[in-house]
Structure 1
Amino acid sequence: MSSDDPRTVAETYFRAWKERDFTTLRGILADDATFRGPLGAADDGEACVKGLEGMAQILDDIVVQHVFVDGPDVLTWFDLHATVAPPAPTANWQHIENGRITRIRVTFDPRALTSD
């Protein structure tokens, strides 16, 4: 698989986020990458990295359960382990073009992370 392969790009994203390697993360995000999720939104690659840096503050582990690939789209089903809440089953849908992530959509139940 080449570095342009969507599955490889998605694996790099999760590995870099878990290792807090934000330089690698930025390198696989398109400049105009967008993010939408229950805790926020971002409209360019820099803002996406800033959001991932914020989540990394409470990130304990990412346990991937399954990866679905459909052409340029990759859906990763994983358990998001945070230091402040029980693991959250999470779906992350990425659209990848020319080896770069252009769109990220995430869904999970954020109540344990946002409750007082």
Structure 2
Amino acid sequence: MRTPAETMTAYFEGWRRHDAESLRDVLADDVVFDGPMGHVEGVDDNVTSLHGLLSIVTAVDVKHVFVDGPDVCTVYELHTTETDAPMLTVNSAHVVDGRARTIRAIFDPRPLLGM
């Protein structure tokens, strides 16, 4: 079984490969995602949402990873086709049995909204 850090490393490696389907292996069936652009529940809807997001992602540059037991906080720069500059993002995940159960992304969505 993966550690929480290994789980979230695999999650972001899937992003880097633009492979949303591989994320089924690291997301719990009842995973809940919350972020400035929406709320998504369940592995199927999360993978569908990630297909859309990964279509605009050009790079993910992880800066820091902090682990506290089952909780992993990843600070990264998200590069997209929709923004001129990378978006500083914080991702907080709670991992149970090698799968992310909750994920919360924190970032300023204004560049994606054309503001």
TM-score w.r.t. the length of structure 2 is 0.95
Match of 1:103 in 2: 102
Question: Which stretches of structure 1, 4 residues or longer, exceed 3 Å deviation after superposition?
Answer: none
Aligned residues: 114
Residue 27 of structure 1: how far off its partner (Å): 1.4
Distance 2:45 2:20 in 1: 12
Match of 2:43 in 1: 45
Residue 4 of structure 1: how far off its partner (Å): 2.1
Match of 1:18 in 2: 16
Match of 2:80 in 1: 82
Unaligned runs of 5+ in 1: none
Unaligned runs of 5+ in 2: none
TM-score w.r.t. the length of structure 1 is 0.94
One-letter identity of the residue aligned with 1:43 = E
Is the 8 Å Cα contact of residues 72 and 93 (structure 2) preserved in structure 1?
yes
RMSD between aligned residues: 1.1
Q: Deviations over 1:19-78 (max 9, x none)?
A: 022232011111100000011110111111111111111101000000000000000000
Distance 1:55 1:21 in 2: 11
Distance 1:23 1:59 in 2: 15
Is the 8 Å Cα contact of residues 20 and 54 (structure 2) preserved in structure 1?
no
Select the structure that is richer in helix: 1
Q: Percent identity?
A: 40
SS of 1:111's equivalent? coil
